Structure 1
């Protein structure tokens, strides 16, 4: 056969393949836009036609603002991907997160669960309930009250650092140091270990490994080919690559050792005063024949749960805590009212161990409403909560959604609904003195009713003690010149952050009046 003829046929075959592919994609887009069961839901044509916009916004950052803008334009129901809608309607949000008709988490979490079997990524309701029961009272207020001395001890260390740095005339970056504080607290509460990060002023190697581990398993969940590439990369003689590839072995080895030590201390304690951790009771239950096997965790489960708490929970508390202190220092009247409240429980001592306990701080009404308003505007996690419509489909507002449709509750938008929160962009703690039912429903800072954040009591305890410690012991600090409204503008990439990624304070400048 003439070679030119074979080449021509090859070119024609390629063109035919391209043509068929284009026609298929075009037909698919037309179906999604005009014929899909979701075609009546408002939204731009490009979000209905393809997942690309949704993926790009989630990977590139800024998804909370982009979805908010769509709601401002199209209303409470917006189609943000071919099989995904976002609803800012309170009645619909309440239905989606109800405990009586649970919408499970989406396949996004299921992919992660193949890598790390932890509570936040469990999609099956029954499995979630068993795991939640296995935690028992680990994060209850009664248990946390036993761990409060460890939290206060670390807050005291932070206070001394603030005093030391600002007295020397230097600026103190709250965001950086709050991260170290949260990690030291979690080290004690999860493993019974002092990571010493506040003391050493640097991140513990385990924490660096834990953060790298989270990145690695996330990449592997969505790009399974990485597991095959690992063999190839293992031959690359580069120390950083080799260290990254072995991160999983290191974190599991260290975590297993630390948890075994915790278990050993509990079992061999003679006076009953062994240091309690979040996992002490869970580790005890592993060998207790009277505990239902369905609500027991294996050592592998405990190891993964502890790692994910250390890696994930520290950021959220540190970020929210940073915005909390920034808001207080930015508003003189708010600061004054909080100081007046604290005087009533410190008895004038000015020290955390001079009478302040979290139980007393819970009773302070103004502190409570200030924290709630910070949670409304500055909770660290404001990405849309994604769920899946159950079997048989559901009616959501004026639209019937087929089963397996993904529905999102946009936290950023719900927290700024002007019909629920008048003047939503203004920081007004007083709005929480007598909150309406709608205000309470709209708040998803700790997740929905069906899947609330297990660590919310711990986060609130840490935030309350942080405010009390700083306002009581650091009366002379103020926001540094570098800390402006522009530098603290919210940016979004999975979690929110200040645009400058820092929040600096300094010792208050004294005005010298010359006679």
Structure 2
């Protein structure tokens, strides 16, 4: 009887628990449904007239799903092709492809602020990129802006030139190696290539090494050493111990993770790691990337008598709101911002500039003619002064940034009041990212690579819809430095090496989007120029 009573008691307890669980689920579902229906009803007369996916009207899950799998930019581009300038991509978010909306959403004096999307990018402390408070951003920008002035970046040129020289020495070695060393993806007749001196390799990792070593030298006073080793590796501080991990891989995983987290409903973010292990790996990458910045800052702070005029030195002279120097956590956060902003962006853009140029033989020939006519026969590092005024080089860079935006995910802003653009009303407190260049989004020929468009009489009109570094008070503070690097890198490698595609019929490079849009690889044939 005792056994029977225990079993009966247990059975009753289980039934009670199941009943409570069932009611909890029902109440939760009812609450969630009420929340979304109420939100939908509240917004019904505000933006429900904007077209978009049905599920996006009720939940950010639609947006989070497509961000998670790295094709958000492609899906939203297709929606713009179907629906026009405005597409609703979340209950309170519009994607806008309208040049007239740039000033409204991103311009000075609009009062727009960054959305909660950026909270997902905060690691140790809010930095210049992810702070949402306007006063805090103004303080940070005042500290850092002089560092990236046109005058200041000229002090960085010797460091960039030194790293580029290291890159050339390494690439000369690679050019002399057999194809089998770096060619893990045969795409052409290897024997014929060997006879003609061509070497085949995926050049994307090498652009990554170059960009990481440049920003390492500029931000922390020394290169990571990726170029010399030909390996993706950097020191990471973890619980007082320094480990050596793949920094580029960590950066990529962190970007995809943070962009996805920022696109999901805020209430779901802490629990996604229990649903999909991909989120656990992403969270680990966030910590590891912070560890890289922490390790580099600690190494630099431990050195005395430094006289270098680099990014970290200038950050150390900054002050907080009370006039005190930046605390260590804030210093690490800003150093982390520079590491992220100055590595993947440069490598992605450098890679795409090269690929688009050699993909179009007429462009490549015209560009090489300009370089040879203006730079002579010397095939060393090309200076900023010698490259910045080359018109066709500038046109090729602009055309690449137009087609392959560094970040095509959009930069969400919260509109403080109803605004007007060409008779269109934007509701208050709505997010409004503007992905890609509007001219690219809305024209069928937008993805045709034609640098000449930037040399035509109406080029100034095109520039109004071309903001590769964003615009307004939250525009990219490192624009001058980024352009210096792109001029010097592109001119230097094209002057020294001859390039071709192993597969000339390849229509475009496959890309994946985290926060940045990144090619998965970039296979090229190259050799030292004979002339």
- TM superposition score category, shorter chain reference: 0.7 to 0.9
Change (3 A) 1:102 1:440: farther
The residue number in structure 2 matching 1:269 is none
Distance in 2, Cα, partners of 1:320 & 1:276 = 26
Give secondary structure in 1 for the equivalent of 2:129. Answer: helix
* Unaligned stretches of 5+ residues in structure 2: 1-7, 180-199, 237-244, 275-280
The residue number in structure 1 matching 2:222 is 193
C-alpha contact (below 8 Å) 1:209/1:250 kept by paired residues: no
List per-residue Cα deviations over 1:159-217 (Å, max 9, x = no partner): 23333323334223220100000111111111111322111111342374766488399
C-alpha contact (below 8 Å) 1:138/1:279 kept by paired residues: no
Q: Does 1:276 align with 2:309?
A: yes
C-alpha contact (below 8 Å) 2:358/2:364 kept by paired residues: yes
C-alpha contact (below 8 Å) 2:497/2:528 kept by paired residues: no
Q: 2:370 aligns with which of 327, 337, 341?
A: 341
C-alpha contact (below 8 Å) 2:410/2:435 kept by paired residues: yes
The residue number in structure 2 matching 1:134 is 143
Change (3 A) 1:458 1:503: farther
Change (3 A) 1:162 1:250: closer
Residue 423 of structure 1: how far off its partner (Å)? 2.1
| Mapping 1:284-303, distance limit 5 Å | 284=317, 293=322, 297-303=326-332
Q: Give the alignment's Cα RMSD to 1 decimal.
A: 3.7
Q: 1:258 aligns with which of 291, 296, 299?
A: 299
Distance in 2, Cα, partners of 1:341 & 1:127 = 45
Q: Does 1:176 align with 2:176?
A: no
The residue number in structure 2 matching 1:488 is 509
The residue number in structure 1 matching 2:152 is 143
- Which moves more between the two structures, 23-32 or 145-154? 23-32
Residue 249 of structure 1: how far off its partner (Å)? 8.5
Change (3 A) 1:312 1:206: farther
The residue number in structure 1 matching 2:386 is 360
List per-residue Cα deviations over 1:309-331 (Å, max 9, x = no partner): 22443111111111111122222
C-alpha contact (below 8 Å) 1:382/1:496 kept by paired residues: yes
List per-residue Cα deviations over 1:47-92 (Å, max 9, x = no partner): 1122211111112211111111222222212211111111212212
Q: 1:423 aligns with which of 431, 442, 445?
A: 445
* Unaligned stretches of 5+ residues in structure 1: 230-239, 267-273, 511-515
Q: Does 1:501 align with 2:521?
A: yes
Distance in 1, Cα, partners of 2:71 & 2:395 = 28
Change (3 A) 1:245 1:412: closer
Q: Does 1:387 align with 2:423?
A: no
Give secondary structure in 2 for the equivalent of 1:184. Answer: helix
Give secondary structure in 1 for the equivalent of 2:170. Answer: helix
C-alpha contact (below 8 Å) 1:389/1:407 kept by paired residues: yes
Change (3 A) 1:349 1:395: closer
Q: 1:116 aligns with which of 125, 133, 137?
A: 125
Residue 414 of structure 1: how far off its partner (Å)? 4.9
Q: 1:310 aligns with which of 331, 339, 342?
A: 339
Distance in 1, Cα, partners of 2:473 & 2:91 = 26
| Mapping 1:236-255, distance limit 5 Å | 247=288, 250-251=291-292, 254-255=295-296
Give secondary structure in 2 for the equivalent of 1:345. Answer: helix
Give secondary structure in 1 for the equivalent of 2:407. Answer: coil
Q: Does 1:155 align with 2:164?
A: yes
Residue 446 of structure 1: how far off its partner (Å)? 1.0
List per-residue Cα deviations over 1:415-456 (Å, max 9, x = no partner): 3332xxx72121111111144455223223212323111222
C-alpha contact (below 8 Å) 1:478/1:506 kept by paired residues: yes
C-alpha contact (below 8 Å) 1:165/1:172 kept by paired residues: no
C-alpha contact (below 8 Å) 1:385/1:411 kept by paired residues: no
Q: Does 1:39 align with 2:48?
A: yes
Give TM-score, length-normalised by structure 1.
0.81
The residue number in structure 2 matching 1:89 is 98
The residue number in structure 1 matching 2:194 is none
Distance in 2, Cα, partners of 1:197 & 1:6 = 61
List per-residue Cα deviations over 1:97-156 (Å, max 9, x = no partner): 111113111012135336432111011122111101101421222222222122122222
Aligned residues: 475
Distance in 2, Cα, partners of 1:126 & 1:402 = 24
Give TM-score, length-normalised by structure 2.
0.78
Distance in 2, Cα, partners of 1:112 & 1:173 = 30
Give secondary structure in 2 for the equivalent of 1:504. Answer: strand
The residue number in structure 2 matching 1:478 is 500
Distance in 1, Cα, partners of 2:230 & 2:378 = 28
Residue 386 of structure 1: how far off its partner (Å)? 0.5
Change (3 A) 1:446 1:295: farther
Change (3 A) 1:417 1:74: closer
C-alpha contact (below 8 Å) 2:97/2:441 kept by paired residues: no
The residue number in structure 2 matching 1:105 is 114
Change (3 A) 1:265 1:72: same
C-alpha contact (below 8 Å) 1:32/1:48 kept by paired residues: no
